[in-house]
Structure 1
Amino acid sequence: HRFYIEAEEKEEPARSILKNQYSLMCKRLWYIITWPSAVLATIFAVWLLILQPFWLESNWMIIKLGFVGLLFAYHWSCQIMYNQIDKGYLKYSSNSLRVWNEVATIILFACVFLVVLKTTLGWIFGVVGIVGVSVLLMLGIKLYKKIRVKNSWDEE
């Protein structure tokens, strides 16, 4: 989505060409990859829980399902953004979209940490790990923005 926003800053005819291409790419990504993946992952998750229902008695699984719920909320928020692009507007800055892109990464890391580190000590390391990954991602985004501005990568 951020490329769509960055295309807004270009002069015509580059702006129209890029926005049309990004809209097409976004549509393909959303309906050919993202939605089918979400549906298949949900089907397989439900199937797995039917085969292993005792996992629902574990605290780590309940917490993981909470993170999966957050991932679904993230997915729906991205659907709202997609709908805005489809209507020709998106009301976010490029940098805020770059940060928003990393939210899914953090949620997915949390899910993996919960599955791998199920003990209490593991959870402590997991929380520290998630916070550490979050901080590193945010620092990386800020560093990338500084380098981009310094080197004028946005200029042709």
Structure 2
Amino acid sequence: MYLWMKALHLMAMVTWFAALFYLPRLFVYHATARDASDEQAITYFKTMERKLYRGIMTPSMILVLIFGGIMLYLVPGWMSQGWMHVKLALVALLIAYHHVCLIYLKQFAQNRCTKSHTFFRFFNEAPVIVLVAVVLLAVLKPF
């Protein structure tokens, strides 16, 4: 059962990260279209952002947490290991990042977002750092 949970956890994680990378990229394009007053593109981005967040990103996050939780239930000894504490802290940061994306999504939907496309280019890079750290922790299990 553990290997099935691990496989499902990894599939959900890949999907969640794909969305965590793509939504802020849509924000970059949305901010660029906003600055150019391209109403047709703005409408398109609002639709894409909403569908990505609600249809892919959030369900993937929930599945990551469910399958990860089941794995912790099956191997409770991991909770006594330092690498797992760091990994879970990073997952908490990802969940916060996920919700910050929702804040920006709502601001864009209401035409209230004032962040620049440059801001979102940097914002888009944050999950990369977390991904590298989480994978290294899960594979190497240091500490």
User: Could you tell me the TM-score, scaled by structure 2's length?
Assistant: 0.78
How far apart are the structure 1 equivalents of 2:53 and 2:40? 20
Counterpart position of 1:83: 106
Q: Which residue of 2 aligns with 1:38?
A: 61
Aligned to 2:35: 9
Which runs of at least 4 in structure 1 moved beyond 6 Å after TM superposition?
A: none
1:103 to 116, 121, 126: 126
Q: Which has the higher contact order (CA 8 A, sep 6+)?
A: 2
Offset from partner CA, 1:63-91 (integer Å, 9 cap, x none): 11011111111111111111111212212
Distance 2:42 2:112 in 1: 10
State the match for 1:145 in structure 2: none
Residues 83-130 of structure 1: CA distance to partner in whole angstroms, max 9, x if unpaired?
Answer: 11121221211111011111011111110111222235xxxxxxxxxx
Once the 2 structures are TM-superposed, how far is the Cα of residue 36 of structure 1 from its aligned partner? 0.6
SS of residue matched to 1:91:
coil
Secondary structure at the aligned position of 1:74 is classed as helix
Q: Alpha-carbon deviation of 1:7?
A: 0.2
SS in 1 for 2:124: helix
Number of residues of Structure 1 aligned to a counterpart in Structure 2:
117
List alignment gaps of at least 5 residues for structure 2.
Answer: 1-26
After superposition, the C-alpha distances for 1:123-147 in whole angstroms (9 at most, x for unaligned) are xxxxxxxxxxxxxxxxxxxxxxxxx
For residue 66 of structure 1, give the secondary structure of its aligned residue in structure 2.
helix
Q: Quote how far apart the aligned CAs of 1:9 are.
A: 2.3
What is the CA–CA distance in structure 2 between the aligned matches of 1:72 and 1:42, rounded to whole Å?
A: 10
Match of 1:25 among 41, 44, 48: 48
The 5 A counterparts of 1:110-125 are 110-119=133-142
Who wins on radius of gyration, i.e. which is larger? Answer: 1
2:107 and 2:35 map into 1 onto residues whose CA distance is 18
**Quick one: distance in 2 between partners of 1:73 and 1:58?**
23
For residues 10 and 74 of structure 1, what CA distance do their matches in structure 2 show? 27
With normalisation by structure 1, the TM-score equals: 0.71
Residue type of the partner of 2:28?
R
Match of 2:7 in 1: none
* Amino-acid identity (%): 32
